[in-house]
Amino acid sequence: MGRLTGLLFVFPIMLAWLCGCLGTAAVPCTMTAHREVVAYQRPWPDAAVFGVVHPGESLSVVARSENAWLGFEPGVAQAANMGVFRLRWVPPGSCRVEGNPYDLPLVWVPSARGTYMMAHEDLKLHSGSDTCSAVSGILPAGGFARVEGRTADGLMFLLSGVEGSEGLYGWARPVGGSVNGDPDTVRIVE
């Protein structure tokens, strides 16, 4: 099978998988840059820059944010990112759009500079900053929560729930999960 044929075979499967992870069926929508467009890691102008979409480059759009940014799957390795954390974003009006972006799933998005824990397996939440304290909840595999604090040694993170994990609050070890954002910017809590 040729390289292009292989990509044409694999791309729809990847798109269907991503849309399945976001909880909706795929709706065809494409964006084409008419000038250089900066793509961001999160849909905010003060978020970290991911790269540039070059003039004439077309990408399939798979989600939209409440602030009208368009999310796309960049097709590059991203360590342990999952769900909405895998998407990269362009500002509204920065690209020509074919299809109706309002038919795309409206997804919760992380704040521009927030730090989040993504659970790759069920993570036990503890009432205190050590694993000997009582278990106060579970962040389920596939879930994520905002990192509100950390221990000085970085072995435990204080998590609070966001969309899909509302009401969760407790300390977790990062084993079985991964951090998206800069943990060094999170306040130290003992």
Segment 30-46, tens digit of pLDDT = 999 999 999 999 999 99
24 and 64 in contact (C-beta within 8 Å)? no
Superfamily of domain 116-185 in the CATH hierarchy: SH3 Domains (2.30.30.40)
pLDDT for 157 beyond 60: yes
pLDDT band with cut points at 50, 70 and 90 for residue 59:
very high
State residue 9's pLDDT score. 36
The domain defined by 3-103 folds into: SH3 type barrels. (2.30.30)
pLDDT in tens, 110-141: 999 999 999 999 999 999 999 999 999 999 99
119 and 112 in contact (C-beta within 8 Å)? no
State residue 13's pLDDT score. 36
Torsion angle, alpha carbons of 96, 44, 115, 39, to 10: 40
End-to-end CA distance of the chain: 57
Find, among 74, 101, 96, 97, the residue nearest to 85 by Cα: 74
pLDDT in tens, 79-107: 789 999 999 999 999 999 999 999 999 99
Question: Dihedrals φ, ψ of 21, to 5°?
Answer: -70, -30
Mean pLDDT value across the chain: 87
CA dist 103 to 1, 24, 144, Å?
34, 10, 25
Domain with CATH 2.30.30.40 in the chain: 3-103, 116-185
Interatomic CA distance for residues 175 and 162, integer angstroms: 20
> Which amino acid would we find at residue 80?
A
Cite the DSSP H helix spans in the chain.
3-22
Pair of tokens at residue 30: 């494409």
pTM of the model: 0.80
